[in-house]
Every structure is written in structure tokens, then in C-alpha cells.
Amino acid sequence: MLPTNVYGINLGDRRFDPIYEAAQALDMPLAAHPQTGHDGQYGVWGVMGAGSERMEKYAYVHMTAFTFEPMIALMHMIGEGVFDRFPRLKVAYMEGGAGWIPFWAERLDEHFEKLGPQWPLLERKPSEIISSGQVSFTCEPEESILPYVLDTIGDGQVMYASDYHHWDCEFPESVRHLVAIKGMTKERQRAVLGRNAMQWFNLKPETLPTRSVFLDREAAPAIAGGS
């Protein structure tokens, strides 16, 4: 698990290459997770949250930092060529929602087309990287536009996150909320609720629980068998 920046230094910085090299060699997926309440001075102390220095209420800080920071981390790693230098590296961007991904992919492509010389290390269109198996995201259980996101980047890039037991989690209704999203087919439910996470984290069916702790019944195939 990585912060979305380290003392304000963005994740595309070359000083982090040894981490990415080791993760690729070990076939170890990484996860970048935003946070709030730790702002500091660039390069000196504190993981910084985008926008939080201008916000006087936690609600604003949470809304901006938890979405903008994964967007910035993804942008910087793509723009600085991290995914091209390490073509087997896998990084997930956690708990920032998924609705922004199609918009961000288009905007990144536009800037790559028009300002490409500023990203000399980037070898592919950003949207190609976002739709590849190198990156993944988590969704909020009530994101009504989730089917559009999956239409845009593919069914295998988004994972369910309960966020249990934080103040904003929807437990015990989060799975029901996701299943109720209009346009979420059974196949997509299986992918988002279990299969994508199994594939992303290299989990084997035989190592997973066979019963649901919450429902006290046999686990669904997406969790127990990956089908």
C-alpha cells in the first residue's frame, strides 16, 4: 500500500523506481490510497491532500483529497512513463470512486496529443494504459454511472470496496446498493464484487473462505470459485 504522494512528491518521480522495479519482479500489485489530515510542507513532512489547504471543513477536504489525489497519482505515473518503464507493474487507485475515470482518460489523451513533448517518457496513449491490466480502481457501491465506466475501460478494471467500517461505508447494505445499480448485469456483478479482486491480487479459490461471514451461507461463485 502506497500513499498517493510522499511528502508532496508525486509517485512518478524517478526516486521511486526501485519500488516499482521490485514490485514488478515479485509480481506484487501495489495500491495507492489517499488520506486526509496529514498536510505538511512539500518535501519536508506530511502526505499532502489536493485542495485541503484551501478547505476549512472536513467534508470539503474529504471530497477533494480522496478523489483528486488518485487522479493526480495516476496522471503523474502515466505522464512520467512509469508504466512504460515497468510494463508488468500493476497499481490500483483505491477509494477515490470510479466515475471520474472516463473523463480523466479523455483529458489525459487530449494533453498527450497537444502537449506530448512535456511527457517524453510516455510511449502510449494514457487511455490505453488505463484500459490495460496494469491499473485498477475501486468503486463506491452507490455509483450509478458504474456501468458507463465499465463500458469505457472494460469490466476487469474496477473492484468493489466496502470501506468497512469507516463513517462513510454503507455496511451492511453496500453489496445490495451495488447490485441494484441499473445496468449492472449478473456478469458485471460477479466481476466487480469478487472476480476482479481475485485476479488483481493473484488470489486462488482454494485459499478463500467457502462461507459468507455476513450472510452465513455458502459463498457466491465470484468469491469462492472465481467464475
Which string of DSSP letters, residue by residue, matches 189-224?
HHIIIIIHHHHHTT--GGGS-SEETTTTEEPPHHHH
Average pLDDT, the chain: 90
Residue 92 has pLDDT above 90, yes or no: yes
Q: Please, which residues bridge with residue 217 across strands?
A: 212
**Residue 37: pLDDT band by 50, 70, 90 thresholds?**
low
Q: How confident is the model at residue 216 (pLDDT cuts 50, 70, 90)?
A: low
Q: Which three cell numbers stand for residue 166?
A: 469507516
The closest alpha carbon to 128, from 85, 83, 159, 92, belongs to 83
Q: Which residue, chain included where needed, has cell 451495488?
A: 178
Q: Model confidence at 225, in pLDDT bands (50, 70, 90)?
A: very low
State the Cα–Cα distance between residues 98 and 120, nearest whole angstrom: 28
Beta bridge partners of 6: 9
**Which has the minimum average pLDDT: 7-21, 127-141, 160-174, 199-213?**
199-213
> Which contacts (CB < 8 Å, 24+ apart) does range 221-227 have?
221/190, 222/189, 222/190, 222/191, 222/193, 222/194, 222/195, 223/193, 223/194, 226/194, 226/195, 226/198, 226/199, 227/190, 227/195
Question: What cell was used for 13?
Answer: 518521480
Enter the C-alpha cell of residue 149.
465506466
Average pLDDT over residues 93-122: 97
CA dihedral sign of residues 41, 43, 46, 51? positive
Domain 2-224 in CATH 3.20.20.140: yes
